[in-house]
Structure 1
Amino acid sequence: MAEVYGSARPRKRWGRRLLITFVVLLLIIGAALVAVDRFGASYAEREIGDRVAQQLTEQKATAEKPDVTIAGVPFLTQVLAGNYQEIKILLNKFSGPAGDGKTIKMDKLDIRAKDVNAPLDTVRSGNGDIVAATVTGVGTLTYPDLADLIGQEGLKLSERDGKLIGAAPFQALGQTFNATGTANLAVKDGVVSVTFADVTAEGLPNIPLVRTLVDNYVKQLAFNLEVPALPLGLKVQKVEPRADGLYVTTGASNVSLSSGGL
């Protein structure tokens, strides 16, 4: 019996060592795969960032270096499947031409490309098309910057109850009045139209002559905001007054990323 027990112990030790070795190998392989996965994702993110920066230059727009993140783990699984869940592109300090020598500025432009179809053969060969089902972008245009674009001296813009409110000094009958009105916002073909209505001024006589002066003044405040060309074919779809500025939503569908994206 002593010999039996003596022979079992070495086997048990050998089996334990084998199990430990196997676990260590799995950990090493797992760590290597994670490293390769992250390296591949980082490389792709840099490539996308470089191409977006190139687009900005071509469109005479500027921003800090694009911050690109490919969402979803693992990255290599998405490569093999030929489909990427989401690609995030953050442009800080974005600015671009807005027509008439003016510049539109956004402190941050947050772009998301979702459901990106990129077959492995296309990525490998460079032939074929890579398409994002949807691309959206959001940014905020501050009210002082928007007032500068409108160009009316003394104009102050703010948000009240979800509406854009404008206030500016108004000359009439040899006096200065503070006129206040609600702005109407409309988006058509990527152009944001700003017009004012219901303009009133405390203490201003309600007579036809004065009303005509007010109406003419209101027409001067009308402004078409031409949003500059954005990366990935984004077009303005919606604008919404918020406490910190005019919230701009852009979007596009079935966007080809082959020439300026992935």
Structure 2
Amino acid sequence: MRALRILLVIVVVLGGIFVAVDRAAVYFAESEAAGRIRITDATIGSTDVSIKGFPFLTQIAGDQLDEVDVEITGIETAANGRRLRISRMNAALHDVKLADDYSSATATRATGTAVISYEDLTEAASDGVAVEYGGNNKVKVTGTVDVLGNPISRSVLSTVTLVDGHTLRVHADKVPGEGIPGLEGLVRQKTDFDREVGGLPGGLKLQKIQPTADGLEISVTGTDVKLAA
């Protein structure tokens, strides 16, 4: 019995050491991965990586991870000559295959959410235009136009849709004209606009866009998603 107790103690101790080593390896790998993530034709602010599954060491030995959760903040690209910033993006990447001595990784499939704040959407809109949440899945767009030397400001409720799976379109439901000829066209030149949403990791595609109080929430999904280079 004494020998059995000693054996059990040794197993528990070794198991604890293995868990500690495994978790330390995960922490190191997460830090390394966060620093290596790159996106083509875009700059990023910060990244956070969380590797799921246990044990980690057996996953790394097989050059494949079960799931990796990634959060990227401040993804910046150019859209129609103007800066477009994705405030943050969260993605769950599944069956992540490691290659090139762990310098690159590709996820078999991924799902996630990207958010564009109204402040960042305002920066991407035309000069002198402000965008904010309008309630009921709409955005409120305010712009000022010049009519015969007189500045006229109008606010409109607009619908935001996805076009061709990569472009967001802001289109006013109705423009109050008040009988002024040509006013609606002038206002729409300011308040209606398309902006391509770039800067996502290769393989991710936009699926659905939804205005919320915190910004435009965009569902993303993809296959063969490259998250490091």
Q: Identify the TM-score tier after normalising by the shorter chain.
A: 0.7 to 0.9
Maintained 8 Å contact 1:59/1:229: yes
For residues 6-38 of structure 1, give each alpha carbon's deviation from its aligned partner in whole angstroms, at most 9, with x where no partner exists: xxxxxxxxx3x3233222201111112102322
Give 1:219's aligned amino acid.
Answer: Q
Of Structure 1 and Structure 2, the greater helix share is in 1
**1 CA distance for matches of 2:151 and 2:32?**
61
Give 1:102's aligned amino acid.
Answer: R
**Structure 1 residue 171, shift from structure 2 partner:** 5.2
Q: Mark the CA change 1:229 to 1:34 in structure 2 (over 3 Å): closer, same or farther.
A: same
**Alignment partner, residue 4 of structure 1:** none
Give ranges in structure 2 of 5+ residues lacking alignment: none
| Greater relative contact order structure (CA < 8 Å, 6+ sep) | 2
**Structure 1 residue 175, shift from structure 2 partner:** 7.0
Give 1:242's aligned amino acid.
Answer: T
Matched, 1:200 2:176: yes
**Alignment partner, residue 21 of structure 2:** 36
Secondary structure, counterpart of 1:155 in structure 2? strand
Q: TM-score, normalised by structure 2?
A: 0.81
**Structure 1 residue 77, shift from structure 2 partner:** 4.2
Give the alignment partner of residue 115 of structure 1, picking from 68, 86, 95. 95
Q: TM-score, normalised by structure 1?
A: 0.72
**Structure 1 residue 242, shift from structure 2 partner:** 0.4
**2 CA distance for matches of 1:20 and 1:253?**
51
Matched, 1:253 2:223: yes
Give 2:122's aligned amino acid.
Answer: A
Matched, 1:147 2:118: no
Number of matched pairs: 227
Give 1:186's aligned amino acid.
Answer: L
For residues 161-204 of structure 1, give each alpha carbon's deviation from its aligned partner in whole angstroms, at most 9, with x where no partner exists: 11223233455585745342323422325222222231226xx2
Matched, 1:21 2:3: no
Give the alignment partner of residue 49 of structure 1, picking from 31, 34, 37. 34
24-33 or 191-200: bigger deviation = 191-200
Q: Which has the larger radius of gyration?
A: 1
**Alignment partner, residue 229 of structure 1:** 199
**Structure 1 residue 135, shift from structure 2 partner:** 2.0
Matched, 1:178 2:159: no
**1 CA distance for matches of 2:41 and 2:168?**
19
**1 CA distance for matches of 2:193 and 2:22?**
50
**2 CA distance for matches of 1:26 and 1:83?**
28
**Alignment partner, residue 161 of structure 1:** 136
Maintained 8 Å contact 1:184/1:195: yes
Maintained 8 Å contact 1:187/1:237: no
**1 CA distance for matches of 2:131 and 2:225?**
38
Of Structure 1 and Structure 2, the greater strand share is in 2
**Alignment partner, residue 99 of structure 1:** 79
Give ranges in structure 1 of 5+ residues lacking alignment: 1-14
